[in-house]
Amino acid sequence: MESAWQHTTVLLNEAVEALFGDSVTRPDAHYVDATFGRGGHSRLILDRLGLHGRLTAFDKDPEAVAAASRIDDPRFSIRHQGFAHLAELPACGVAGVLMDLGISSPQIDNPARGFSFRSDGPLDMRMDTTRGQSVAQWLAAATQLQIAEVIRDYGEERFAVPIAKAIVARRQDRGPLATTAELAQLVAGTVKTREAGQDPATRTFQAFRIFINGELEELQQALEASLDILQPLGRLVVISFHSLEDRIVKQFIARNSREAFDRRAPFAQPRAMKLRAVERVKTPADEVKLNPRSRSAIMRVAERTEVPA
């Protein structure tokens, strides 16, 4: 049975067009959808694939894996893994890697997942509900300093210390936080000023979600793995939704789009650049109007240049 919580794929056509590229189209090659979600990108990639093409998808969310199992296509396979496991694919064996970062609408809209401050539910926020600590479990034992660092570093929240103090005080007074509503109300009572139109709890919820799922660390691992598995002229397409993700992607592409010199061996040949930056795309206004959650999306595209040694 289909979920009541639907997902609108962001930059659907733009991402798939960028993945295949303008000059080199390999319909019978191997492609990767590193974040299956609800499969919008995967289904369009399959439409573009030739008879002998292959698509491997990854996702940590059991609900996403269940949705993927309904795709009846011998060219398609799904792995119940995070995209850090890209490194397990054969070197130089992939023509394109697509990463659509962040969380999907079904995850946000389902109160039982604990991602949203708008609906009350258990304070969970795990992408993979079969393993690891929930946010509630972590907050029950974390120190004030640890909580403040997470809120500051992953939420870019200037009120990180007062929020952390309030969480620890609440824990000592009435026990640990257990629901999203409790956390949202506590933050709202602590953060007195906020940008127009933004809920006071937005940055704190983002911080806890990113931290509990190790999202930024996994992104860095997956980007490095992409250099090994992409074949020459293979495409890397990454859609990010907040500045922390986009900064990592931007710096990764920039770092690998220039020759590298070894200062310890000034007369040695520089290491050739591994990527060529292709384009940066923001969500078109008409798509934002139909899907407001896409307004912050930025897509960066790069192309593999050399074969890894």
Q: What is the pLDDT of residue 265?
A: 56
- 215 within 8 A of 174, measured Cβ to Cβ: no
Q: What is the pLDDT of residue 308?
A: 47
Q: What is the DSSP letter of 260?
A: B
Q: What is the pLDDT of residue 264?
A: 61
Please state, in angstroms and rounded to a whole number, the distance separating the CA atoms of residues 88 and 5. 32
Reading the block at residue 293, the tokens are: 């959650």
Please state, in angstroms and rounded to a whole number, the distance separating the CA atoms of residues 185 and 118. 10
User: Please, what is the angle between helix 144-155 and helix 202-213, to 10°?
Assistant: 100
Q: What is the pLDDT of residue 259?
A: 65
Q: What is the pLDDT of residue 274?
A: 93
| Among 94, 102, 51, CA closest to 233 | 94
Tell me the pLDDT of the chain (309 aa) as tens digits.
344 545 678 899 999 999 998 655 578 899 999 999 989 999 999 999 999 999 999 999 999 999 999 999 999 999 999 999 999 999 999 999 999 998 887 888 888 898 888 889 999 999 999 999 999 999 999 999 999 999 999 999 999 999 999 999 999 999 999 999 999 999 999 997 777 668 899 999 999 999 999 999 999 999 999 999 999 999 999 999 999 999 999 999 999 997 665 566 565 555 678 999 999 999 888 888 887 878 889 999 999 997 644
Q: What is the pLDDT of residue 291?
A: 79
Residues 6+ apart with CB under 8 A from 129: 61, 62, 113
Reading the block at residue 65, the tokens are: 């894996």
- 244 within 8 A of 156, measured Cβ to Cβ: yes
Q: What is the pLDDT of residue 271?
A: 64
Q: What is the pLDDT of residue 155?
A: 95
- 201 within 8 A of 186, measured Cβ to Cβ: no
Please state, in angstroms and rounded to a whole number, the distance separating the CA atoms of residues 103 and 206. 10
Q: What is the CA radius of gyration of the chain?
A: 21
Element (H, E) at 226: helix 215-229
- 65 within 8 A of 59, measured Cβ to Cβ: yes
Q: What is the pLDDT of residue 268?
A: 52
Reading the block at residue 232, the tokens are: 């020459």
Please state, in angstroms and rounded to a whole number, the distance separating the CA atoms of residues 60 and 272. 34
Domains of the chain: 12-105+215-304 (3.40.50.150), 116-213 (1.10.150.170)
Please state, in angstroms and rounded to a whole number, the distance separating the CA atoms of residues 87 and 76. 19
Q: What is the pLDDT of residue 21?
A: 85
